[in-house]
Amino acid sequence: MSVDSPFPELKKRHTMARAGRPWRDFKPPPSGPVWGIVQGFGSYWTLVAAIDLGIFDSVERLNKCTVAQLAEVLAVSEPHLRHVCDALVTFGFLDQIDDLYEISETAERYLCTNGAASMASLIRVAPGPHRNWEQLADTVRTGRVATPIEDDPEAFYGPLVDATFVTQHRAATRLGWRSGWQRRRELRVLDLGAGRAPWAIAVLEQSEGSTAVVNDLTRVLADARDTIEGRGLTDRVEFRPGDFHQIEIEENAFDLVVLGHVCRTEGDAGARALVERAWRALRPGGQILLADYFADNDRKYNPFGVQMGLTMMANTRAGGVLTNDQVAGWLRDTGFVALRLIEPIGFQFVYVADRPPSS
């Protein structure tokens, strides 16, 4: 028996040393990780409530405020609001000094409606239909998702692409700066599953005389049309509604083909088919841009990528985790060369690869 064991008497009878695993008994692991998961459920809903109530926007406007002042502005119950505000302090979204609360830099940037990289409207939609999570065990038992996004994709993707436009447009704009789109004129772009078309718009904004074919499902494409019109780019865009596996696409015609966050819901065969469509659409020497959330090849060092894959499994018929090996495999098997994996802004990755000029 170890002399520095905290409970030597207990160890005498219960020690796992008898079961051959003494190191486990010497210092049992804390339950913190389990509580962290349990409280994660409440944390998510606290954030949803904070956004629904307008807490971040109001605290930012008031600069510094007490809970009483904030409760008056929001017309809510002060003691209930105090609990929420204190939780938001523990998340790092509010700062608290004595009785005064103020917005943290993280919340100012990501959670205020007008934040430079606002994710405020993404919080509710990002996990997918919420009831799919309650039924995850059934999904795993049966291999079937209760409410897959594909049942009514336009209803799901309309709010999603609204919420992700700011971030994807920033990523695309930074990628363009790094890739020198400003020096390349009259680029012809194909954006498949474009959403509100952040990628095509970034090209059109940077490359003089460039034009785009923008594809999405009919109802989502109507939103893209609004965004493109709002930026005065309509005369440089052809809108092509329909399923990106089915629509007519000219061959050897485009300088850039964008697959922006469309592969992870498609499954291996569907995504591979899209990469092959992109190849045929590109002129020799053209480039594919494949943006998504990728996991490491062992599916354990990048929790964000692994959990994004889980979210796809929980909410779509064929989607799941995408590893770097898998995506690089599609690109190389199709014939793309000069693969680069670029992170134009934090957490956003894009594969850029070339169709060889001689192909």
Ligand X SMILES: C[S@@+](CC[C@H](N)C(=O)[O-])C[C@H]1O[C@@H](n2cnc3c(N)ncnc32)[C@H](O)[C@@H]1O
Judged by the rule CB under 6 A, the positions of this chain that interact with ligand X are 153, 157, 160-161, 164, 168, 193-195, 198-199, 215-217, 220, 243-245, 260-262, 291
Q: Which is nearer to ligand X, 107 or 221 (CB)?
A: 221
| β-strand pairing of 337-345 with 348-354 | antiparallel
HSE, side-chain direction, 13 A CA sphere, residue 354: 9
- Closest CB 196 distance from ligand X, rounded Å: 7
Minimum distance from CB of 194 to ligand X (Å)? Answer: 5
Nearer to ligand X, 161 or 213 (CB): 161
Angle at 215 between CA 114 and CA 352, to 5 degrees: 80
Alpha carbons 347 and 328: distance in angstroms, whole number: 18
Other Cβ atoms less than 10 A from the Cβ of 265: the count is 22
Q: Of 227, 160, 242, 168, give the one whose Cα is nearest residue 199.
A: 168
Per the CB < 8 A criterion, the answer to whether 127 and 133 are in contact is yes
Q: How far is the CB of 39 from ligand X (least distance, A)?
A: 29
Complex with ligand X: residue 103 or 263, whichever CB lies closer: 263
Identify which of residues 85 and 322 has a Cβ nearer to ligand X in the complex: 322
Smallest gap from Cβ 335 to ligand X, in A, equals: 23
C-alpha dihedral (284, 287, 293, 294), degrees to nearest 10: 50
**Six-digit token pair at 206?**
């940077």
Q: How far is the CB of 153 from ligand X (least distance, A)?
A: 5
Nearer to ligand X, 211 or 215 (CB): 215
Residue 154 exposed, middle or buried by CB count within 10 Å (0-12, 13-18, 19+) = middle
Nearest-10 crossing angle of helices 67-74, 55-62: 120
The residue among 55 and 314 lying less far from ligand X, judged by its C-beta, is: 314
CB of 259 to ligand X, least distance (A): 8
